[in-house]
Amino acid sequence: MFNSLNDDEWRVARMERLGLKEDPFKLSADPRYLYLGPEHLAVYRQAQGVVSRRRGLALFSGDMGMGKSSLARRIYDLYTSESSVVITYIHTASFKSAMDAARQISVNLGLPTQRSFSRQLETLERLMADEYTRGHNVVIILDDAQMMEPEALEVIHRLYNFDYDAKVVQILAFGQREMNGLFETNKAVNARVFVRLALPPLTLSSSLQMVLFRLNVAGRSEPFIDDDAFELLYDRSQGVPREIIRFCALSTDLVLQSDTSTITLDIVKEVVAYEA
């Protein structure tokens, strides 16, 4: 019953029967479906404050599936059209060395690569200084930052060693919880961290609002999940957004193959039993 549906036309027709213009529970990133509940909104606003007030270095952590990458991309999209902001987003900051970090950041900012670390860093620092004198704000977003080697932190250390009357670069690092331990290995860099925030699991209320938001984007305004069914789904997901969406997607597949028009408790029980 969980086999993939190959007949796209049949699936679209069944979706339309449910009042859905498209699949509301796609796991692929789509900015239209990003719901900023209270948990995510607090981090989003803090990130905006770091950028607008030139606070420097900020760490945003959370377990897998908590929506860190979606939030990072949302912040990138927010500033990418602003003429006063020079921003880059590195989706996998798995820097193997300080040189690797300096080169990847430079390339993402449109700078040429250099043969030596000192020359590469000078090129990067020159860009920061030039943009600052023009009144521009340089922002570097590092995603999956827990993957970088400790040596790579030296680049961050050096970039914050030549401040003017304000931070010339704002670095927003997103990663799993072990990222905090990584930054603690470098006392000089760790001392530069302005704020550390963790993305907590969603509450039951926020989870429900996220699902209703997605359904609304997909074209359905009527209830789609029975209350008792959603409570079981939430308990199994432990409030992790990706898991909530995944359980909803599996449940929707069963609805499409049945005569029912809502996700019932029996459907969620079947999904849970399949997952056990």
Dihedral class, residue 90 (left if φ above 0, else alpha if ψ from -120 to 50, else beta): beta
For 97, counting Cβ atoms within 10 Å of its Cβ (0-12 exposed, 13-18 middle, 19+ buried), the class is middle
Structure-block tokens of residue 237: 């997901």
Where among 178, 198, 218 does a domain terminate?
Answer: 198
Q: What is the mean pLDDT of residues 127-154?
A: 97
- Do 70 and 95 have their domain in common? yes
- Do 254 and 140 have their domain in common? no
Percent of the chain with pLDDT over 70: 97
Where among 173, 198, 223 does a domain terminate?
Answer: 198
What distance in Å separates the CA atoms of residue 87 and residue 80, rounded to the nearest whole number?
Answer: 6
Q: What is the mean pLDDT of residues 58-63?
A: 97
Structure-block tokens of residue 117: 């670390």
- Do 235 and 206 have their domain in common? yes
- Do 237 and 176 have their domain in common? no
Determine the residue type at 136: H
- Do 20 and 128 have their domain in common? no
Mean per-residue pLDDT of the chain:
93
The SS3 assignment for 253 reads: helix
Q: What is the mean pLDDT of residues 40-67?
A: 96
Structure-block tokens of residue 226: 């029975």
* Domain encompassing residue 248: 8-28+202-275
What distance in Å separates the CA atoms of residue 127 and residue 110, rounded to the nearest whole number?
Answer: 10
Where among 180, 198, 216 does a domain terminate?
Answer: 198
Answer yes or no: is pLDDT of 212 > 70.
yes
What distance in Å separates the CA atoms of residue 71 and residue 68, rounded to the nearest whole number?
Answer: 5
pLDDT band at 13 (very low <50, low <70, confident <90, very high): confident
Answer yes or no: is pLDDT of 52 > 90.
yes
C-alpha dihedral (36, 42, 48, 49), degrees to nearest 10: 170
- Do 129 and 231 have their domain in common? no
Residue 156: inside a domain? yes
Q: What is the mean pLDDT of residues 89-99?
A: 97
The 10s digit of each residue's pLDDT in 153-201 is: 999 999 998 767 889 999 999 999 999 999 999 999 999 999 999 999 9
- Do 63 and 187 have their domain in common? yes
